[in-house]
């Protein structure tokens, strides 16, 4: 009988067995779906798969074509502009709003709800709302013109040079509320005594914020950064709803390139190559940062 | 006795469905504009009359929105009963990997080989000698739809060809009319460009570029003329802010735009609005320059199903589609040309008759959908939507990239 054999030493593998069993599904998902899926995608990006995956390897052909395609270059540029500006603006605006809310104002709950409300809307709804607001005939431009400023021009959606800023506005409107809430939570976590001490020392409020409070809020900033960063890389539905990549292909983004080539053009190989490039870009940014952030702590 | 009769009735209710073998068949398609929906209704009614039931699976947007949904349902193991694709190579790989149903028996019974004209339609359905789809209609891109009211308002006579239309452009603009209506969907600019290739450039150039994939011809001086015409079209189209093709057609119907280059499916919209060809609007086949029509259009494909009853219903639908009466009813509503020449289309209006006439005379060319793979089409679409949206892009730069795409096309 199996249970009668006594084990000489408690097996390392069976320690804390319950929690190990509980985490098996998650480990399985992570390995098979995330890691396995990524590896499969990378491998098939070196094939000439069309509608269905085929293991017919063609080397770097798909990547050469990808980087020669002007639509991909435009997509990357757009993502860079959108990414950098949305990172800066949502952090700055979010923090300023949070700092203002932190001044023990009246109706704080009301304001917080108003600012956070856009975040409850999906990107599709956000995109459609801003498509109308920025529509030259019915939106802001139309209203200002009907008030008497006949030559007023504000038409980002149909102007290829500035269309990405039209998307940026919608993205900020949707996302800043969340950043504000995260920052507000961080500010509330700062000990009252620090403020008192700063006041006793006669340090002006803005300096207290910049030199004392912000460095103390480092973990909150990192969380926020990760959330904003993930939102930037996966930018897709906002563009589809607001401009569908137009005018022409002036507001294309990498995620849309991946979808269009995988499904509309029935060219899986090209889509896989593009998604692999997205993964590589993220890895280039994340790995050194993660190394500094987590590797450093272990040594110290 | 009574009990026996009752038992017989009961037995009949159980047995009857087995005899008729009626089934619900979901048909997915992207026929959603007014004229298209009216045509689908004809087809659905005819199919319902066979005792089966048409379950409508319309997908809004355009073909490029609908096709990925259809394909992922078929490859994902949740196939519909039947689905629309365009004539050509959109379902090529699905057929190759055995996901589609062989219709050869139905085709032989209905003598499709003899009745379906032109033969290129059935060729597109054929893979390794077997037939995999039922052609529904013939559509051609090479039409210029002109609003007579708009030209009257601008004080210019209605144009007889593309060159006159271009010349009238500035006058139209002065009168506050958008000269050329076009929506911002990529397939529209792409189709407009291909129309210019075959009308301004000619059939020979068209075949050299798209059939033989001749990179030299695509970079040559003949093609440069086409790009020069495309620049003119871009200038005339400046100021459009509609999305869908039928919204653009609506601008022509209401006289807000001078004209639109669009396939003959636009015809259905004019008909829905109660307008008559030659009175409120005119149509110029081949833009009035070159009377050649490409024979693209739609076909219905049937995914391979395990369910016997549904498979029978698929056969019934395939037969219904090619049926002469259905062909007349469907195509009159849709504004397209029927796939068989042995039927009476006397009820057709002048524009359709012109189209039928040109096709009967043999003024046909194979459509680009049938010649280029979807991948090459997409690259071309990307280029054209960039070229038409960006006024600063020179025709030389666009032609250079066009030649590259043709050089690597398959």
DSSP output for chain A = -GGGSPPSS--GGGTTHHHHHHHHHHHHIIIIIIIIHHHHHHHHTTB---SS----B-TTHHHHHHHH-HHHHHHHHHHHHHHHHHHHHHHHHHHHHHHHHTTT-TTHHHHHHHHHGGGGS-HHHHHHHHHHHT-TTTSHHHHHHHTT-TT-----TT-TTTHHHHHHHHHHHHHHHHHHHHHHHHHHTS-HHHHHHHHHTT--HHHIIIIIIHHHTHHHHHHHHHHHHHHHHT--HHHHHHTTT-STTTT--HHHHHHIIIIIS--HHHHHHHHHHHHHHHHHHHHHHHIIIIIHHHH-
Say yes or no: A209 contacts chain B, CB-CB below 8 A: no
Q: Do residues B146 and B284 make contact, with C-beta atoms less than 8 angstroms apart?
A: yes
A-B CB pairs within 8 A amount to 71
User: In angstroms, rounded to a whole number, what is the distance separating the alpha carbons of residues B400 and B410?
Assistant: 18
For A248, the closest of B72, B94, B390 (CB atoms) is B390
| Residues B385, A248: C-beta atoms closer than 8 Å | yes
Instruction: Please report whether residue A163 resides in a domain.
Output: yes
Q: Do A249 and B386 touch (CB under 8 A)?
A: yes
Considering only CB atoms, B71 lies closest to which of A51, A244, A261, namely: A51
Residue A170 lies in a domain: yes
Residue A10 lies in a domain: no
Question: In this complex, do A51 and B75 lie within 8 Å of one another by their Cβ atoms?
Answer: yes
Domain count, chain A: 1
pLDDT at B228 (0 to 100): 94
- Give me the residues of chain B with pLDDT under 70, please: 1-21
For the domain with range B23-138+297-357, which CATH number is right: 3.90.1640.10, 3.30.1300.10, 3.40.190.10, 3.30.1490.120? Answer: 3.40.190.10
How close B374 gets to chain A, by Cα (Å)?
Answer: 5
**Selected residue of A246, A248, A253, A263 to mutate for chain B interface (largest B Cβ count, 10 A):** A248
Would the CB atoms of B375 and A70 count as touching at under 8 Å? no
pLDDT tens digit sequence for A224-241: 988 898 889 889 999 998
Out of B68, B387, B408, the one facing A263 most closely (by C-beta) is: B68
Task: Tell me which residues of chain B have a C-beta less than 8 Å from any C-beta of chain A.
Answer: 64, 67-68, 71-72, 75, 90, 92-94, 97, 184, 241, 243, 373-375, 377-379, 382, 385-390, 401, 408
Question: ipTM value of the model?
Answer: 0.75
CB atoms near residue A280 (< 10 Å): 11
- A132 CB within 8 Å of a chain B CB: no
A52 vs B97, B378, B389: nearest CB: B97
Highest mean pLDDT among A47-56, A87-96, A152-161: A87-96
Domain that holds residue A215: 28-299
A41 part of contact set with chain B, CB < 8 Å: no
Structure tokens at B151: 């030209």
Domain membership of residue A55 (yes or no) is yes
Write down the pLDDT at residue B7. Answer: 60
Whether B379 and A70 lie within 8 Å, measured CB to CB: no
> Residue for token digits 């019915």?
A138
- What pLDDT was estimated at residue A151? 84
- Residues on chain B touching A266 (C-beta within 8 angstroms): 71, 90, 93, 373-375
Task: Give B-chain residues touching A65 at CB under 8 angstroms.
Answer: 408
Minimum Cα–Cα distance from B380: chain A residue: A265
CA distance B381 to chain A (A): 10
- A244 inside domain: yes
Residue A6 has pLDDT above 90, yes or no: no
Angstroms from A162 CA to nearest CA on chain B: 12
Question: Taking a C-beta distance cutoff of 8 angstroms, is the pair B363, B292 a contact?
Answer: yes
Name which of A50, A246, A267 is nearest B184 (Cβ-Cβ): A246
Percentage with pLDDT > 70 across chain A: 95
Interface membership of A51 toward B (CB under 8 Å): yes
What's the CA dihedral at B65, B70, B71, B76 to 10 degrees? 130
CATH assignment at residue A143: 1.10.3720.10
Q: Do A266 and B374 touch (CB under 8 A)?
A: yes
Q: Residues of B with CB below 8 A from A50's CB?
A: 93, 373, 375
Cross-chain Cβ contact A137/B241 below 8 Å: yes
Question: In this complex, do A264 and B68 lie within 8 Å of one another by their Cβ atoms?
Answer: yes
Instruction: Give the distance from residue B409's alpha carbon to the nearest chain A alpha carbon, in angstroms.
Output: 12
* pLDDT at residue number B343: 83
Question: To the nearest whole angstrom, how far is the Cα of B151 from the nearest Cα of chain A?
Answer: 25
Q: Nearest residue of A to residue B75 by CA position? A: A52
Give the mean pLDDT of chain A: 87
User: Is the model's pLDDT at A297 over the cut of 80?
Assistant: no
The CATH 3.40.190.10 portion of chain B extends over 23-138+297-357, 143-294+365-407
| Nearest CB to A247; choose among B64, B72, B184 | B184
For the stretch A155-179, pLDDT in tens is 888 888 889 999 999 999 998 999 9
Which whole number is the average pLDDT over A197-222? 89
Using the predicted structure, report yes or no on whether residue A7 has a pLDDT greater than 90.
no
* A50 found inside a domain: yes
Residue B198's pLDDT is 93
Class for the domain spanning B143-294+365-407: alpha beta
Summarize the confidence of residues A258-283 as an average pLDDT.
90
State the pLDDT at residue A296. 58
């Amino acid at each position: 009988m199996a249970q009668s054999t006594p084990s000489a030493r408690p097996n390392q593998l069976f320690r804390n067995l319950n929690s190990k069993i509980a985490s098996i599904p998650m480990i399985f998902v992570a390995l098979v779906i995330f890691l396995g899926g990524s590896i499969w995608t990378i491998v098939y990006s070196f094939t000439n798969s069309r509608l269905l995956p085929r293991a017919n390897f063609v080397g770097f052909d798909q990547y050469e074509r990808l980087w020669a395609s002007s639509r991909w270059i435009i997509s990357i540029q757009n993502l860079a502009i959108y990414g950098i500006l949305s990172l800066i603006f949502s952090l700055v605006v979010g923090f300023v709003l949070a700092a203002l809310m932190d001044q023990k104002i009246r109706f704080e709950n009301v304001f917080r709800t108003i600012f956070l409300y856009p975040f409850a809307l999906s990107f599709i709804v956000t995109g459609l709302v801003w498509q109308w607001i920025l529509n030259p005939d019915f939106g802001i431009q139309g209203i200002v013109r009907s008030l008497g400023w006949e030559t007023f021009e504000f038409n980002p959606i149909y102007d290829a040079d500035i269309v990405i800023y039209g998307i940026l506005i919608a993205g900020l409107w949707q996302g800043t509320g969340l950043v504000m809430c995260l920052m507000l939570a961080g500010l509330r976590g700062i000990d009252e005594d620090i403020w008192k001490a700063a006041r006793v020392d006669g340090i002006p409020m803005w300096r207290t914020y910049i030199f004392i409070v912000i460095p103390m809020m480092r973990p909150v900033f990192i969380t926020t950064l990760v959330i904003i960063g993930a939102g930037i890389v996966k930018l897709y539905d906002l563009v589809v709803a607001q401009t569908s990549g137009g005018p022409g292909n002036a507001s294309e983004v990498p995620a849309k390139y991946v979808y269009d080539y995988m499904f509309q053009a029935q060219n899986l190989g090209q889509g896989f190559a593009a998604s692999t490039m997205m993964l590589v870009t993220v890895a280039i940014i994340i790995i050194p940062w993660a190394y500094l952030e987590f590797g450093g702590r272990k040594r110290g | 006795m009574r009990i026996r009769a009752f038992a017989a009735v009961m037995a009949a209710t159980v047995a009857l469905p087995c005899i008729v073998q009626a089934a619900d068949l979901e048909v997915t398609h992207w026929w959603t504009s007014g004229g298209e929906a009216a045509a689908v209704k004809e087809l659905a009614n005819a199919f319902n009359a066979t005792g089966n039931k048409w379950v409508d699976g319309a997908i809004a947007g355009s073909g490029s929105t609908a096709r990925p949904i259809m394909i992922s349902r078929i490859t994902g193991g949740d196939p519909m009963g039947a689905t629309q694709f365009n004539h050509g190579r959109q379902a090529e790989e699905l057929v190759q990997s055995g996901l589609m149903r062989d219709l050869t028996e139905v085709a032989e019974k209905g003598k499709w080989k003899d009745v379906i004209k032109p033969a290129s339609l059935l060729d597109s359905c054929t893979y390794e000698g077997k037939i995999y789809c039922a052609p529904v209609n013939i559509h051609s891109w090479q039409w210029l739809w002109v609003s007579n009211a708009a030209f009257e308002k601008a004080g210019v006579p209605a144009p007889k060809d593309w060159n006159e239309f271009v010349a009238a452009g500035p006058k139209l603009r002065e009168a506050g009319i958008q000269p050329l209506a076009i929506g911002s969907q990529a397939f529209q600019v792409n189709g407009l460009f291909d129309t210019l290739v075959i009308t301004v450039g000619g059939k020979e150039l068209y075949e050299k570029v798209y059939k033989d994939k001749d990179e030299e011809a695509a970079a040559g001086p003949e093609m440069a003329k086409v790009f020069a015409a495309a620049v003119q079209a871009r200038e005339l189209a400046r100021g459009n802010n509609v999305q869908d093709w039928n919204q653009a057609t609506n601008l022509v119907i209401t006289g807000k735009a001078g004209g639109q280059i669009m396939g003959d499916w636009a015809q259905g919209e004019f008909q829905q609005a109660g307008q008559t060809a030659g009175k409120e609007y005119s149509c110029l086949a081949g833009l009035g320059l070159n009377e050649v029509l490409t024979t693209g259009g739609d076909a219905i494909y049937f995914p391979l199903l395990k369910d016997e009853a549904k498979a029978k219903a698929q056969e019934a639908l395939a037969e219904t589609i090619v049926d002469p009466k259905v062909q007349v009813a469907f195509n009159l509503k849709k504004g397209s040309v029927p796939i068989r020449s042995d039927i009476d289309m006397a009820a057709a209006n002048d524009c359709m008759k012109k189209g039928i006439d040109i096709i009967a005379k043999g003024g046909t060319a194979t459509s680009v959908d049938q010649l280029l793979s979807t991948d090459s089409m997409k690259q071309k679409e990307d280029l054209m939507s960039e070229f038409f949206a960006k006024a600063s892009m020179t025709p030389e730069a666009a032609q250079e990239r066009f030649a590259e795409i043709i050089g690597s096309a398959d």
